[in-house]
């Protein structure tokens, strides 16, 4: 854009291109500067409106929209889409109802907005009013059903479509995979006229959900290309299986050798694998590695994996220290993990503290009482001190956690 600013003369088309470019790059401030410098507000208001709408500046977008002498269907659709992206579906509906002319893009935008904002019924109502369905229209509803795991509705929508594209086929495959319907997923995959990386990943996921690691790995290795999601799916599959945890560590290293940069999900899987096989030094190494990436920092879930690992290996004091030193507040999962470890290793003092924190953070968690009951009934000194019997068990538990 520096070239445009250095031009000795700029006509309204140049200013329009500049405003549009800044808007598409998310630089609203420079778009406003170009708009003010042009001094041709009437002819460039449309471009400035689109910059505001594209970047979610709703009040400014609405002001610019209202000042436009002529609004075409693109402008109307941009205004309703801006409201939709911010979750303002009532305002979106008002704009949509006022539109003098609607096309398939505006209809699809409304249907997508409702489904993405958890208003599926309104999305279905809007979908039913579309004068002529298109493949993208059907895909929006199909994907909404798939995301909500409404299997029968998704299947009916798919088979009722006059035409289907790769998005349609992939949505059907994914819902079969999520529903653990392996044979249906395999049949859909084989029937697909085209396959994308998402389709292949869905098939890997389908095998993984069934615990068939050999088939998941075979599908993964057969993929013509892989992305980070693909790696994470197969990594998680191995990390969940106690017999596959060592292979998860090998996969993580292979992933790095392939030049794939891991994300938070990758590290969650690898730390969970470390916890399952009890390798403390390796887990600490992965946590340090995570800190070496400029855009990654361990989150609560990663620290919870370390707590779980230390608890499994009997390092209960260290596990409690990790909880206390977390850079983010621990949650009920953190303390519940420690409580479970205390139950397994017979540490009723620490278990009582952990149980108290679980109840403090999640007073509807009834499992804590069962865990603490088992700890007390192991015959530790807390149980002896309270003299618990079956009738007084709950009373004693409540004493420990309050």
Predicted confidence (pLDDT) per residue in 110-127, tens digit: 888 887 777 777 887 877
**Mean pLDDT of all residues in 26-33:** 58
Q: For position 23, what pLDDT does the model report? A: 59
Residue-wise pLDDT tens digits, 313-331: 999 999 999 999 989 999 9
Q: For position 102, what pLDDT does the model report? A: 79
How many angstroms separate the CA atoms of 264 and 286, rounded?
A: 12
Asked if pLDDT for residue 266 goes beyond 90, the answer is: yes
Q: For position 372, what pLDDT does the model report? A: 72
| Cβ atoms 92, 77 nearer than 8 A | no
Average model confidence (pLDDT) across the chain = 79
Quick one: CA torsion of 33, 38, 39, 45, rounded to 10 degrees?
-80
Q: For position 248, what pLDDT does the model report? A: 94
How many angstroms separate the CA atoms of 323 and 19, rounded?
A: 50
Residue-wise pLDDT tens digits, 350-367: 888 888 888 888 877 777
DSSP 40: -
Greater pLDDT, 53 or 237: 237
Greater pLDDT, 336 or 10: 336
**Mean pLDDT of all residues in 60-85:** 77
Q: For position 70, what pLDDT does the model report? A: 76
pTM > 0.75: yes or no: no
Other beta carbons within 10 angstroms of residue 254's beta carbon come to 13
Q: For position 106, what pLDDT does the model report? A: 81
Report CA torsion sign: 181, 183, 184, 185.
Answer: positive
Greater pLDDT, 107 or 133: 107
Greatest Cα-to-Cα distance within the chain, rounded to the nearest angstrom: 92
Reported as a pLDDT band with limits 50, 70 and 90, residue 92 is: confident
Alpha carbon 8 to chain centroid distance? 48
| Cβ atoms 164, 134 nearer than 8 A | no
**Mean pLDDT of all residues in 124-138:** 78
CA-based angle 236:241:242, to the nearest 5?
A: 130
Which stretches of 199-356 are assigned E, i.e. beta strand?
Answer: none
Instruction: Give the pair of three-digit tokens for residue 48.
Output: 């400035």
Reported as a pLDDT band with limits 50, 70 and 90, residue 378 is: low
Greater pLDDT, 377 or 83: 83
**Mean pLDDT of all residues in 252-262:** 93
Other beta carbons within 10 angstroms of residue 115's beta carbon come to 23
Q: For position 25, what pLDDT does the model report? A: 64
**Mean pLDDT of all residues in 8-20:** 51
At a CB cut-off of 8 Å and minimum separation 6, what does 88 contact? 58
CA-based angle 206:207:212, to the nearest 5?
A: 155
- Where is average pLDDT lowest: 60-69, 168-177, 194-203, 293-302? 60-69
Q: For position 392, what pLDDT does the model report? A: 41
Greater pLDDT, 35 or 99: 99
How many angstroms separate the CA atoms of 353 and 360, rounded?
A: 11
| Cβ atoms 86, 112 nearer than 8 A | no
Reported as a pLDDT band with limits 50, 70 and 90, residue 129 is: confident
């Amino acid at each position: 854009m520096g070239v445009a600013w250095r031009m000795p003369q700029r006509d309204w088309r140049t200013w329009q291109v500049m405003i549009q470019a800044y808007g598409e790059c998310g630089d609203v401030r420079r778009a406003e500067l170009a708009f003010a410098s042009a001094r041709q507000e009437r002819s460039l208001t449309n471009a400035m409106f689109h910059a505001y709408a594209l970047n979610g500046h709703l009040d400014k977008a609405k002001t610019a929209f209202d000042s436009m002498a002529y609004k075409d269907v693109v402008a109307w659709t941009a205004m309703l889409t801006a409201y939709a992206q911010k979750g303002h579906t009532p305002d979106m509906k008002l704009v949509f109802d006022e539109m003098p002319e609607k096309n398939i893009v505006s209809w699809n935008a409304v249907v997508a907005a409702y489904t993405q904002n958890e208003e599926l019924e309104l999305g279905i109502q809007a979908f039913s009013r579309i004068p002529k369905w298109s493949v993208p229209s059907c895909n929006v509803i199909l994907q909404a059903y798939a995301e909500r795991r409404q299997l029968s509705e998704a299947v009916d929508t798919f088979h009722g479509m006059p035409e289907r594209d790769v998005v349609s086929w992939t949505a059907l495959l994914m819902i079969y995979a999520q529903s653990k319907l392996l044979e249906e997923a395999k049949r859909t995959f084989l029937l697909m006229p085209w396959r994308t990386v998402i389709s292949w990943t869905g098939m890997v996921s389908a095998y993984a959900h069934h615990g068939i690691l050999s088939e998941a790995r075979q599908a993964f290795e057969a993929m013509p290309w892989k992305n980070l999601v693909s790696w994470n799916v197969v990594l998680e599959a191995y990390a969940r299986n106690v017999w596959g945890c060592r292979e998860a560590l090998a996969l993580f290293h292979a992933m790095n050798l392939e030049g794939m940069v891991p994300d938070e999900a990758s590290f969650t899987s690898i730390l969970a694998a470390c916890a399952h096989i009890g390798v403390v030094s390796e887990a600490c190494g992965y946590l340090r590695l995570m800190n070496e990436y400029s855009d990654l920092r361990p989150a609560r879930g990663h620290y919870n994996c370390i707590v779980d690992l230390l608890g499994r290996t009997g390092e209960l004091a260290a596990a409690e220290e990790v909880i206390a030193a977390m850079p983010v507040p621990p949650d009920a999962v953190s303390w519940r993990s420690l409580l479970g470890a205390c139950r397994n290793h017979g540490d009723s003092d620490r278990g009582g503290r952990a149980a108290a924190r679980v109840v403090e953070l999640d007073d509807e968690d009834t499992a804590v009482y069962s865990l603490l009951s088992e700890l007390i009934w192991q015959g530790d000194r807390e149980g002896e001190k309270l003299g618990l019997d079956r009738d007084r068990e709950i009373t004693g538990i409540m004493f420990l956690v309050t």
